[in-house]
Chain A
């Protein structure tokens, strides 16, 4: 991809009221095109259902997640719907409690990673030259570590905590987001309204956040969805590996770790969180893909 493919004159002056209205209309078209596809509809239903399970689950739990109610690894019975876990706690209650940490940490990490990546990507695209080169080289260095390896590396040095895990996962997303946003913003930088804003002498920060940012919202939204999907997997993986949240915390990743040795006698302690994580990531990925397809279709003027 070289120069921007679309060289239509921007019909409305930069920063004007008309532009704002245009953008809102574009978003409406985009969202309706997204929801027109079956994959988005299915994704949305699955995603909303899993978010509901994660957030409201504790309200429906019959027991406390740390209370011993039955024999270790016991099969489903009248006191425990899905049996007992490795220590005799209620699998069903721990499952209902175990989604909040996964979802909360994933959303927080995604917000941090996407915001940081956005700032770096826009700055690199607008400043170009040395600043761009330096920012991209730093990104390269952090991208040389697979995300889980970077997380393990930092968790060796620092005592594990919720905030640290969220920061590490967010940090590991940032260079990947920055690359995508930089690519998208580079095409915007060349366009007339940015040149116009520069000629008028608008301050740099206003150009970056007032002119560039509103024109990369589609790739930004796609990145947010994608990074959320990966955050769920990564945070669950960190807890599954036992280097994240510590027992007796109820968490889907940790539950899999705790119960997987007894999986032949008591599969539910593993099966429930595995299904939940699978549905949560599949739902958000289907929805993101639907949006990405809609955005591409609209850019091409509708296929």
Chain B
């Protein structure tokens, strides 16, 4: 198993390295001159010259890449092209806000979806199952920003005005100090990911409920509750854990749109602002952080799946 783990981790690192190449190539190496992209069409030659030197664009692409990568590995993402402040300084509090939003959403969404999945499986092919199934299917289709705007229309503006439509967090404060502004963004993310987890949980649970050991437990006369929660759920939960991790990774992208809808000061809205300002160092930093989160969460999910599945555990040990 340790061989498998090492291979999986090395592959993860390789993916991360290639991710850094893609981020760098897309923003700095390919389109000719990054300085012109930042300054726009009416840049004066003097300013172009100054920025070219500041970003070391006059050096070779390789030397640019390695000095950038070296910085990234030390947590130094360079200076923002828009404000001149260090990028790491600009985004650190935003990372915490986004992390809080994603964690709150996950803590609510995962148990909620597992519960819904179990409910659907237990009431298989009954009206409850059909109603939840069709509802989650419809919700799964909706783009996050459509969900977010729907919630704003319902709860923050036109129908009931009970929650803030805009997530204002005073400077120096963090999202957890102003819980009211987290409610709607978190609700949006929860609605976006719950369908996927609950549908997988339903499928896995349906299979387990048909198995011999569940029949056996029922024949022994165990109460229904015990059969479901003690015998069936622990065996059905592995695929749900896996898909939960995938959804957690997915949230790293979904959070971009949700943050823009609510003006939530996190890394997603920062990324969109940076793209708008053509602030290349900041775009690079945020893109690589989001991709790294995705790779690492997937890695953890794979390892967890192996650890909790005896069959795979022994297969990997071979």
Measuring CB to CB, which residues of chain A are less than 8 angstroms from any residue of chain B?
A: 39, 137, 140-142, 144-149, 152-158, 229, 232-234, 236-237, 240-243, 256, 260, 263-264, 267, 270-271, 274, 277-278, 281-282, 284-286, 289
* A157-B37, A233-B146 known; A144+B152 contact, CB < 8 A: no
- B275, B278, B287: most-surrounded residue (chain A CB, <10 A): B275
Complex CA gap A237/B192 in Å reads 15
Per the bound structure, the CA–CA distance linking A168 and B243 in Å amounts to 26
CB < 8 Å neighbour of B158 from A156, A158, A267, A286 = A267
Q: A141-B18, A144-B295, A152-B271 are in contact. Are A286 and B138 (CB under 8 A)?
A: yes
Q: Are B157 and A263 in contact (CB under 8 A)?
A: yes
In the complex, per-residue mask of B234-263: 1 if CB is within 8 Å of any chain A CB, else 0: 000000000000000110111011001000
How distant is the Cα of A154 from the Cα of B280 in the complex, in angstroms?
11
State whether A156 touches B140 (Cβ < 8 A). Answer: no
> In the complex, A289→B73 CA distance in Å?
44
Asked whether, in the complex, the Cβ of A241 is within 8 Å of the Cβ of B257, the reply is yes
Is B291 touching A149 in the complex (CB atoms < 8 A)?
Answer: yes
The residues of B that contact A241 with a CB separation of less than 8 Å are: 257, 260, 272
Q: What sequence of 0s and 1s flags, for each residue 1-37 of chain B, a beta carbon within 8 Å of any chain A beta carbon?
A: 0000000000100111011001100110011000001
Closest residue to A238 on the B side, CB-wise? B257
* Choice from A137, A154, A229, A274 contacting B141 with Cβ under 8 Å: A229
Cross-chain contact A153 with B27 (CB below 8 angstroms): yes
Minimal beta-carbon separation of B175 from chain A (angstroms): 21
A281 touches B142 (CB 8 A): yes
- When the two chains form their complex, are residues B137 and A286 in contact, meaning their CB atoms are under 8 A apart? yes
Given contacts A149-B253, A156-B275, A241-B260, whether A260 and B149 have CB atoms under 8 Å apart is: yes
Q: Collect the chain B residues with CB atoms within 8 Å of residue A229's CB.
A: 141
Partner of A146, one of B254, B272, B276: B254
Residues of chain B contacted by A289 (CB below 8 angstroms): 137
Q: Are A157 and B143 in contact (CB under 8 A)?
A: no
Q: Are B15 and A137 in contact (CB under 8 A)?
A: yes
Query: When A146-B256, A152-B283, A156-B27 are in contact, do A237 and B145 touch as well, CB less than 8 Å?
Result: yes
The reply to whether B252 and A146 form a contact with Cβ atoms under 8 Å apart is yes
The 5 closest A-B pairs by CB, nearest first: A146-B253, A233-B143, A285-B141, A281-B141, A141-B18
Q: How far is the CA of A128 from the CA of B290 in the complex (A)?
A: 31
**Which residue on chain B has the smallest CB distance to residue A147?**
B253
User: Are A146 and B149 also in contact (CB < 8 A) when A152-B256, A233-B142, A278-B142 are?
Assistant: no
Interface assignment of B134: CB less than 8 Å from any CB of chain A: yes
Known: A234-B143, A263-B157. A149 touches B138 (CB 8 A): no
Shortest Cβ distance from residue B95 to the other chain A in the assembled complex, whole angstroms: 15
Q: Are A144 and B143 in contact (CB under 8 A)?
A: no
> In B122-149, which residues have CB < 8 Å from any A CB?
134, 137-138, 140-146, 149
- CA–CA, A137 to B250, complex, Å? 19
Does B153 interact with chain A (Cβ within 8 Å)? yes
Rounded to whole angstroms, the CA-CA distance of A155 and B22 in the bound complex is 14
Q: Closest residue to B277 on the A side, CB-wise?
A: A156
Q: Which of B15, B19, B138, B291 contacts A282 (CB 8 A)?
A: B138
Residue of A nearest to B283 (CB): A156
- Assuming A148-B253, A289-B137, what are 6 further A-B pairs, CB within 8 angstroms? A140-B11, A146-B290, A149-B253, A149-B271, A157-B27, A241-B257
Contact B141 A146 (CB under 8 A): no
State whether A141 and B19 are in contact (beta carbons under 8 Å apart), knowing that A152-B272, A157-B31 are contacts in the complex: yes
Q: Are A39 and B134 in contact (CB under 8 A)?
A: yes
B153 in contact with A263 (CB, 8 Å): yes
Contacts of B138 in A (CB 8 A): 282, 285-286
Distance, CA A50 to CA B290, complexed state (A): 34
- Known contacts being A157-B27, A281-B142, A286-B138, is A140 close to B15, with CB within 8 Å? yes
Q: Return 18 A-B CB contacts under 8 Å, by A number.
A: A39-B134, A137-B15, A145-B290, A145-B291, A149-B287, A152-B271, A153-B26, A153-B283, A156-B26, A156-B280, A157-B27, A157-B37, A236-B145, A240-B257, A256-B149, A281-B141, A281-B142, A284-B141
